[in-house]
Amino acid sequence: MVSLDELAVEISELVESYAEDVIKAMAKVLDETAEKVLTYIQSKAPRSGMSYGFADSFVAIPEGQGINKRIAIYSSNKGRLTHLLEFGFMHRGGKFVGPRPFMRPAFDAFAPDMVEQIKSIIERGGSS
């Protein structure tokens, strides 16, 4: 016979193991998706003639850890231009420069699959 205390300890260990597996698998999916998004942005963002142009200025920086991990993707040194290129802008002289979206399409292309992978990870306990 198994006592209730032993059963509670065993269940607790199983839940802890499940949570660790889920967190590791989710972190892997997040890292993979961030890499895909970064590659997409770097390939679609406008390029300039400089060796280190706008498209190459994007970086993916992980922040936090475990279930609080997130990855910020942004232009490391040309961030003040990003919204102008993404949404378009009006020159001082009145000429409109149309939008050239590259960030939102990256999110739209990869986020739905990431969400589905995370759902699958949670359902299967870390084994996708």
Greatest alpha-carbon pair distance for the chain in Å reads 85
CA distances from 117 to 83, 86, 106, 123 (A): 30, 28, 17, 10
Cα distance from N-terminal residue to C-terminal residue, the chain: 35
Give the tokens for residue 59.
């970086």
Q: Give the range of the structural domain holding residue 106, as residue numbers without chain letter.
A: 4-124
Structural domains in the chain (count)? 1
34: Cβ–Cβ under 8 A, 6 or more apart, which residues? 60, 62, 71, 73
**8-state DSSP, 69:** -
What pLDDT digit, counting tens, does each position of 88-120 carry? 999 889 999 899 899 999 999 999 999 999 999
**% pLDDT > 90, the chain:** 60
Please state the pTM of the whole predicted model: 0.81
Read off the pLDDT band of 24 (50, 70, 90).
very high
- Averaged pLDDT score across all residues of the chain: 89
